[in-house]
Structure 1
Amino acid sequence: MPNLTDLNVTYFNAKKAHEYDNPSTLAVTKIVAGKILQLPTGSASRVVETDKNLYEQYSEDSVDLNEAFTKVDKFWESKSISLLDFACGTGLISENLAPYCESILGLDISQAMVDKFNHKFQTLNVPIEKAHAEHVDLRSETEPSDRVVGKYDVAVCSMAYHHMTDVDFITKKLKDCLKSSGRLYVVDFLKGAGSFHENMPAEFCTEHGIGHPNGFTQQELIQCFEIAGFEDVVVSDGFQIKVWVDEEKYHKSTSNPNPEVKQLTKDKVVYAVKIGLIIASGRKPQ
């Protein structure tokens, strides 16, 4: 049976890369990037409360993709950060974090995603030394290479941990890529708060390389970071995003019998799905 790496390479092909930058992923990534920038890294509490009702709720059609971020955490204020975007996809997170970075390296196991990342930044006239992506499997025993070990102020992995089996292993690998006092940020589904995958059959998750379809609890991510040797670990208490999907994906994603429906055109109807997300961050010791 193919391993998750092979399955993910197959799934995230050229067709998927071409379709990836759709309204849903653009809006979700904009919100996620803002949450990364605003997560208080100096918090005395491990769990950062962001809303009295536990979840801040967003809808993709209420997100201004051009709006500037505000109240950025002091960790990002220098705007001179070297960023490693792991499982970078088409570069959506990198695109949003770029104003705060001196340089960006994206890594992905999908050559199609890497090609889309590089084409995007070339189209934006960003020099290759400022931002580019490479086709690398960081999960192999031979990586990371000396070229990336200890080189980055920040490593970020958005919406990819649930596609992996051994998240403890990859968290240690990402720590190796960081400079002393560098920070890792991981964004993924908050277990029990809604996921595109939690109601999908096991066969679907296997075929699509999904190792953790339900996502992660706060304690699971805290433990993962601490096992890897991170300090000052902090997690958000969760936030919720409402995205619009077609009928087939709606029924695969949720068992809610009373969907919220929006008629886009005479022939196109979309359905609301709420997904709960969490952000975790930790500091590599000096």
Structure 2
Amino acid sequence: MAAEYDLKPAFVKMNAQVTQAIRDRLEWIGVDWISDEDKPEDGKEIRLLDYAAGTGVVSRALGPYVTHTLGVDISPGMVNKFNEHARKAGLDPSRIHAIEGDLCSDPPTVSFTEMPSTNFDIAVVCAGFHHFNDTELATKRLAERLKPGGVLLIMDFLTPSGEDGKVPDEVKHMVKVFGFDEPTMRRLFEGAGLVDFDLWIMPEKVVLEREKDGEMMRREITVFFAKGRKPAA
């Protein structure tokens, strides 16, 4: 999907919605972001880990507010697109780049284990959690990458009300969990040792599309943002 991901109308709209939601809630997220008042000579650094980064939607949304961004994805195609976007924007690879890696393999892939383990002010997974085989392990390993006081932010899909949560057979190869609810997210965050858990539901639904039997199926999905903080001590 990497070559066409940024061109699909449904993804274009969803990415715009997510970008606006993130930027509107910077204060709620709770990171000491870079601002216009901060001078380069002051040496302030804010580091972002964009995991399951895709083509870099979150990295572009938060780019003006951080100094360093590392994208990580298991797909080499997505990693290439991420870095292509960054280079076309004239951004220095020392400030933003993506690597291929798997946080949830056992052990994590070499490229990922070479990263500093307690380096990031914020780690974000945007619409990736429902693809993970082991969300508990993923949450713990992301939390390990945060510095004390760092924030984990997860954006994903709310479990549809009144549905049994069964994943359709035709998407089981890529969708492992059919949405999440607040108690589940709280349990995952607290199980990873994170505190100050909060969850916000985006008022505007997003529309997902997939082709089935030659027809384009459209579905409205409710999106949430969940956050937690690594204790400072």
1-structure distance, mates of 2:199, 2:213: 29
What is the 5 A alignment of 1:2-151? Answer: 16-22=1-7, 23-39=9-25, 75-79=31-35, 80-143=45-108, 145=113, 147-151=115-119
2-structure distance, mates of 1:232, 1:77: 18
Q: TM-score, normalised by structure 2?
A: 0.83
Q: Give the superposition deviation at 1:233.
A: 0.6
**AA aligned opposite 1:105:** L
SS in structure 2 at match of 1:75:
coil
Asked if the contact 1:41/1:234 (under 8 Å) is kept, the reply is no
What is the 5 A alignment of 1:188-267? Answer: 188-192=156-160, 201-202=168-169, 204-207=170-173, 209-212=174-177, 214-243=178-207, 245=209, 248=212
Instruction: Work out the percentage of aligned pairs sharing the same amino acid.
Output: 31
What is the 5 A alignment of 1:181-192? Answer: 181-192=149-160
Q: 1:15-70: CA deviations, max 9, x gaps?
A: x101100332232122223333444766xxxxxxxxxxxxxxxxxxxxxxxxxxxx
SS in structure 2 at match of 1:89:
coil
1-structure distance, mates of 2:214, 2:167: 10
Aligned residues: 218
Q: Give the superposition deviation at 1:183.
A: 0.1
2-structure distance, mates of 1:78, 1:93: 16
Q: TM-score, normalised by structure 1?
A: 0.68
Q: Give the superposition deviation at 1:240.
A: 3.4
Gaps of 5+ in 1: 1-15, 43-72, 254-271
Change in CA separation of 1:109 and 1:249 when aligned onto 2, cut-off 3 Å? farther
Q: Give the superposition deviation at 1:92.
A: 1.5
CA RMSD of aligned residues (A): 2.7
Relative contact order (alpha carbons < 8 A, sep ≥ 6): 1 or 2 greater?
Answer: 1
Asked if the contact 1:218/1:237 (under 8 Å) is kept, the reply is no
Q: Give the superposition deviation at 1:200.
A: 6.2
Gaps of 5+ in 2: 36-44
Asked if the contact 2:167/2:176 (under 8 Å) is kept, the reply is no
**AA aligned opposite 1:189:** F
